[in-house]
Structure 1
């Protein structure tokens, strides 16, 4: 498969496709994290604000700053009613535009595999944390069959297409996450798996929602009608329906947390 850059520029499309999944996993993630109220947070790779909004609703933060490289995503996030207290700006996970020790908690939601150098990204998370601060992430298990888009991507490969995938999928593995956090000097490092389910009314909804993903939509748009029909029917065979025609999919994410020593 080719390793090309995936660009997330459409916040509304992301919301329908991955934003819902992100919040499903984010609810479990925050239950597990159980952070104190009133912390100063940075959401690195905040995207269209799906997780950021959940964070504000659940954790009563004293402050939330969000950074993301995509102005298109940030524009959508800034229009979310639940984010009126957050400050969102364009920024790079490997060069976070804040001073050392600025935050009490740093988080990445479904981001790490897109960071060109995950180790550098974690170093930056740690740099902007104060003593005793918490660093945490959750990421779909990209190599273990946990990604929500796997049925479509698998069928694309089966018919000879090469869908674009994130450049650092190994950073989604639970042992790699534990190693990254330990190597960054964090302590009390813990990991867990998060499994969530989402139900689609029928195959047409499942298909149309997932075509909004940048790893799928552009490739499908370039296909001939016969090839598109072949792909669609192949995917249909991979996603069984219940007696009402509904499709329920399970996705799995790996999560890690750790604290900067006091």
Structure 2
């Protein structure tokens, strides 16, 4: 299976940054973390959620980890993320010692990690006893992924866009199992519903087709097929 890699920070910000902040606001309201904590944001991408942590949590320390230097360059340039430290790293082998943080979070990441269980174990390892380990993820199997209107029509046309490698880990039951297996206690899950409004169809199309799951497929399609796909999605 081809790897889904997000390397264009500006494109990712347009495509997913708005979604991540919308979910992230509700997520932080739910978590109600104390102020002045040490945070690690694993798979921080363009820094959209990291920026929320900085703005809302008066964090003592914020570390952002991502495998893409392109994403990290964008995150470092965010005025609202000043004070956060961004570095390349692997979610399955975090470059920190045990109990380094009070809170470890992953925002819209888990389905893209080759070994989700290992990454959750790493989150638990780097958080102190009594700390918090949390994630939010699209309901990939329940129609909750923003790219579904495009991906569904691609598949109906016989096309094969690249999908996240582990969509099955996005269900609430699967997430509970991962947290239990990592030895975490007082486990809670909830559903978060958010909406996004685009200016018009062209705005939606231009933004959401920047994804690495759609952009290479569309770029290789004959113009007539692109027109047909656009018509079907519209």
Give deviations 1:170-228, integer Å, cap 9, x for gaps: 11011000011011111110000010000011111111011111111111111101100
Partners of 2:82 and 2:52 in 1: CA distance: 13
- Structure 2 partner of 1:203: 201
Corresponding residue pairs, total:
234
- Normalising by the residue count of structure 2, what TM-score does the alignment of the two structures yield? 0.99
Partners of 1:235 and 1:172 in 2: CA distance: 25
Instruction: Note the aligned Cα RMSD (angstroms).
Output: 0.6
More strand by share: 1
Partners of 1:85 and 1:6 in 2: CA distance: 29
Which of 7, 10, 13 does residue 11 from structure 2 map onto? Answer: 13
Partners of 2:199 and 2:102 in 1: CA distance: 41
Partners of 2:136 and 2:188 in 1: CA distance: 12
- Structure 2 partner of 1:87: 85
Give deviations 1:44-79, integer Å, cap 9, x for gaps: 001110110011111111100111000000000000
- Structure 1 partner of 2:145: 147
**Structure 1 residue runs of 4 or more that deviate by more than 2 Å after TM superposition:** none
SS of 1:140's equivalent in the other structure is coil
Give deviations 1:107-127, integer Å, cap 9, x for gaps: 000000011111100110011
Higher relative contact order, chain-length normalized (CA < 8 Å, sep 6+): 1
User: 5+ unaligned residues in a row in structure 1: which ranges?
Assistant: 237-262
Offset of residue 11 of structure 1 = 0.4
Which of 86, 99, 102 does residue 101 from structure 1 map onto? Answer: 99
More helix by share: 2
Offset of residue 43 of structure 1 = 0.3
